[in-house]
Amino acid sequence: MVAIEEARRNRLLAALPPAELASLARQMSMESLRLGDSIYESGAPLKQVFFPTTSVISLLYVMLDGSSAEIAVVGFEGVVGVSLFMGGNTTPSRAVVQSAGESLVLSAKQVHDEFGRGGPLHGLLLRYTQALITQMAQTAVCNRHHTVDQQLCRWLLLSLDRLPSNELLMTQQLIADMLGVSRGGVTEAAGKLQASGIINYARGRITVLDREALEDAVCECYDVVRKEYDRLLSAIA
């Protein structure tokens, strides 16, 4: 059981009517997630869904040779584990904590019961899932058609939108794994942003100094994703 004030820190849950939120909060628990933790693996049955409050989680597709690429990022605006309430129960992707923090957790049975009831949570989860699909599709397009520089800008902005500050704790190797590119490519792209005064990067800590310039440097993919989230979830302010 968690306090209603804690539950409201997730944007989806905060949009629920007070009585619905109070009922759901009584069924939830809070978990602390560490950087690099895997909250579910490819092909494994999903036992719970996560509603991040202060953590950020990356959804990764892992190849047979162990290489990976991020297909979406989820923070306080959403939920991790959509396959569970969509009926799939498993997914080929892997979910890894990108930024340490806390997340609300709801068990598989409780998710099925709430979703099957067709109440307010049902509609919110469906709209969020469409927004998530848009992010996944646009990520695939971006990785195919845009430069590493542009991909890094997109990744930084999407991550910042889900964090309370302008700082990220992330090594260049982890960023390379997320983007599915070489570490050298990330080093070069980050160096250009730092030389332009847009970011400062030191010892695994990235600080965005000029967000406006970062938005000027990013490709169209970031704006497509942001606008679709705003359109679908505009009622969840």
Tens of pLDDT, residues 103-152: 999 998 888 888 888 888 888 898 999 999 999 999 888 888 888 999 89
Cα-Cα-Cα-Cα dihedral of 210, 212, 215, 216, to 10°? Answer: -110
The domain spans of the chain are 4-141, 147-218
Question: pLDDT band at 235, cuts 50/70/90?
Answer: low
Fold match flag (4-141 vs 147-218): no
Question: pLDDT band at 236, cuts 50/70/90?
Answer: low
What contacts 59, CB < 8 A, 6 or more positions away? 70, 71, 72, 73, 74, 80, 93, 94, 95, 136
Most confident of 19-23, 86-90, 113-117: 19-23
Mean per-residue pLDDT for 58-76? 85
Class of domain 147-218: mainly alpha
Mean per-residue pLDDT for 188-206? 88
Q: Among all chains, which residue has been given the structure tokens 């990235």?
A: 206
User: Is residue 180 pLDDT above 80, yes or no?
Assistant: no
Task: Give me the chain's average pLDDT, please.
Answer: 87
What contacts 84, CB < 8 A, 6 or more positions away? 46, 48, 49, 108, 111, 112
Q: Among all chains, which residue has been given the structure tokens 């989230």?
A: 229
Which helix (H) or strand (E) segment is 31 a member of? strand 29-33
Under CATH, what is the fold of the domain 4-141? Jelly Rolls (2.60.120)
